[in-house]
Amino acid sequence: MLSSASITLRNRTYQFNPLQPLDISLPLRSGSENVNCFWAEPVQVETITVGDFVGSVAQGGSTNYQRVHLTPHGNGTHTECYGHISPDPTATLDHCLSRFLFVAQLVSVTPQRQDNGDLVVLAKDVLTQLDEADLPEALVLRTLPNSESKRTTQYSGTNPTYIEPALAEYLAQYGVEHLLLDLPSVDREEDGGALLAHHAFWQYPFQTRTQATITELIFVPDAVADGWYLLNLQVTSLVLDASPSKPVLYALQPDGLAPEISFVEAPH
C-alpha cells in the first residue's frame, strides 16, 4: 500500500502521505442546507420517472436515477477560469486546467474593516506571511475568525468579505497560478461590474493567464495548520467557465534537495 510519496518543486523535495487527505471542499446536498451566494437557487435533486420506471430504490425502483440542478458560481465549492469574465467561448475550465497537482501554501488572515464598513483581506496582511523568493504554485486563504457556520452561510445580500485587488495583482505578478479561499468571491458582492480582483489575478484582457484558476467557498477546518501542502484540485469535465470542485490537501514535509519529481512506495 502506498503510504509515503514525494514531490519536488524548484529542486526541493517534500514528503507526503497519500493516505491522509484533507478535503477542503463543501459537499452539496439537495435543499437549502448548503452554503449559497449571489442569489443562486438551492441545489435540487429530482427523481426521474419514465413510464413505469421510477429512479428511486426507496420508491420501488431498480436503481437510483436522478437529475441535479445547481449553479456552480452560487452553490458550494467551485473552481473558475478567466472565462468567467471573458466572452471567448473557448475559455472554459476543461481547456484552462490541464494539471491537477500543485504545491500550495495555506495562510490564515484576518480581514480588516474599511471606512465604508466592508471587510477586506488586505495584501499586506497576506504578504507578510509569504516568502517572495519561495512562493507556492497555489495559495489557500483561510479567513479569521474561522467558524463551522461557513459550511451553510447564506451570503446573498450580506456584502461578504472580499480581497484587496492589490493582493490579486501581486499573486499574478509573482506567478501564483491558483488561488483558493473561503469566500463567495475575490471581489465585492456589488461593485458595478468592475471585478477588479478577478481582472488583476487573470491579468485579463491584455496578458491573460489562461492556466490560472480561482476556487471559492472552500472550508479549511481549524485542525489544518498553516503551512505547505500538496493540492489535488479535482473538477468535473464541464465545458463551462466554472465547475463544482473538490480541492484536497496533503501535508508536506521538506526533505532536502532532489533533481526531479518522484513518487516512491514506502517499504512494507
Is the CB of residue 137 less than 8 Å from the CB of residue 9?
A: yes
pLDDT tens, position by position, 24-63: 999 999 999 999 999 999 999 999 999 999 999 999 999 9
User: Is the separation of the CB atoms in 243 and 213 below 8 Å?
Assistant: no
**Which pTM does this prediction carry?**
0.93
Count CB neighbours of 59 within 10 A.
Answer: 10
Identify the CATH homologous superfamily for domain 5-25+77-257.
Putative cyclase (3.50.30.50)
The CA distance from 220 to 150, in Å, is 10
Buried b (16+ CB within 10 A) or exposed e, 224-244: beeebbbbbbebeeeebbbbb
From CA 218, how far away is CA 221, in angstroms rounded? 10
pLDDT at 264: 38
C-alpha cell at 83: 472565462
Please write the tens of the pLDDT for every residue from 83-129: 999 999 999 999 999 999 999 999 999 999 999 999 999 999 999 99
Residue 257, pLDDT > 60, answer no
